[in-house]
């Protein structure tokens, strides 16, 4: 079974969209999206520096646009025939497009609202996120809670992301949980998936009320609990709530395993989720779309999957 996944915030790098815009029709498509949401995705994806694309209100629409664009370059979704789709954090919006829950235009309008609302929430208090590498999950979670931090992303494969105030994160750097090898600050602008994002939930709920989601045409695996969601309305409700609740990517990967995953392809800017899959899903073939040079290898994997 093939699983198609979309990465979350922090996967973006300066200029990563440049080679994708050389594909036929891609530049015009992204320019039209830019006009529709009032954000120059072409500029931010090709010319902006790391600090500019770290801005939550920029990074999130940029990632969703890149994911949609790179998946479209693989082929139409029925022909790709994934057995399931999922995304990490903002990547869930990209996955909602793959599953047919939201149109491209609706997803980009929604993620633009999400990015702006989360940036506003992040501006209230200085917050951030740090990745813990190694250690026992239960021990690490208990330690984070003692420091007042939230285990915002439980990613599996020995990785948990802590989120909270800068002071709390500084305390974590000085006092790591037992067994944790390293604490790595992430290039994000706030404590996402925590109570600090609560102000964004109301804004997103209002934006969601204007959308008409379809039921998923492909099994859609949710970050909330790692389970497939059958209703478009429930997908949208979960997209609203997830900004202030932890991401359980570990449970998503458990579901991939239960469903019989044999191949996992991560759309642009790929790398993070395939890295986790290599450690947590041994024997599963993985491929990350970084540039259009990866498309032929991805299509070959898809052909093998379809013909199997």
Catalytic residues: 89, 193
| DSSP label of 245 | S
Two structure tokens written together for 260: 């019989």
For tokens 């690490």, the residue is 140
Two structure tokens written together for 20: 């994708």
Enumerate long-range contacts of 44-52, CB under 8 Å, 24 or more apart: 44/17, 45/15, 45/16, 45/17, 45/18, 45/20, 45/21, 46/15, 46/17, 46/18, 46/21, 47/15, 48/14, 49/14, 50/13, 50/14, 50/187
Q: How far apart are CA 144 and CA 56, in angstroms?
A: 24
Q: How far apart are CA 160 and CA 143, in angstroms?
A: 12
Of 77, 78, 79, 85, whose CA–CA distance to 255 is shortest? 85
Q: At what angle do helices 56-74 and 295-307 cross, to 10 degrees?
A: 60
Are 121 and 192 a contacting pair, CB within 8 Å? Answer: no
Q: At what angle do helices 198-208 and 232-241 cross, to 10 degrees?
A: 150
What SS3 class is residue 80?
helix
């Amino acid at each position: 079974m093939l699983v198609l996944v979309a990465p979350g915030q922090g996967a973006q790098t300066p200029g990563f969209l440049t080679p994708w815009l050389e594909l036929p029709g891609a530049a015009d498509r992204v320019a039209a999206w830019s006009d529709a949401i009032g954000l120059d995705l072409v500029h931010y994806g090709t010319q902006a520096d790391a600090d500019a694309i770290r801005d939550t209100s920029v990074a999130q629409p940029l990632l969703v646009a890149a994911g949609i664009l790179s998946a479209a370059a693989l082929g139409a979704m029925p022909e790709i025939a994934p057995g399931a789709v999922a995304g990490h954090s903002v990547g869930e919006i990209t996955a909602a497009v793959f599953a047919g829950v939201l149109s491209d235009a609706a997803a980009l309008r929604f993620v633009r609202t999400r990015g702006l609302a989360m940036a506003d929430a992040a501006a209230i208090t200085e917050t951030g996120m740090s990745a813990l590498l190694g250690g026992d999950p239960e021990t690490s979670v208990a330690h984070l809670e003692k420091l007042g931090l939230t285990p915002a992303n439980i990613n599996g494969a020995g990785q948990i992301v802590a989120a909270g105030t800068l002071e709390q994160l500084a305390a974590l750097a000085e006092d790591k949980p037992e067994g944790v090898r390293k604490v790595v600050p992430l290039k994000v602008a706030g404590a996402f998936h925590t109570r600090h994002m609560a102000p964004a939930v109301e804004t997103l709920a209002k934006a969601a009320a204007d959308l008409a989601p379809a039921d998923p045409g492909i099994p859609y695996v949710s970050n909330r609990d790692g389970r497939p969601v059958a209703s478009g309305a429930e997908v949208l409700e979960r997209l609203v709530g997830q900004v202030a609740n932890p991401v359980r990517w570990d449970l998503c990967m458990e579901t991939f395993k239960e469903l019989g995953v044999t191949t996992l392809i991560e759309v642009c800017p790929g790398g993070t989720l395939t890295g986790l899959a290599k450690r947590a899903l041994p024997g599963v073939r993985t491929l990350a779309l970084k540039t259009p040079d990866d498309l032929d290898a991805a299509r070959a994997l898809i052909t093998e999957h379809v013909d199997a």
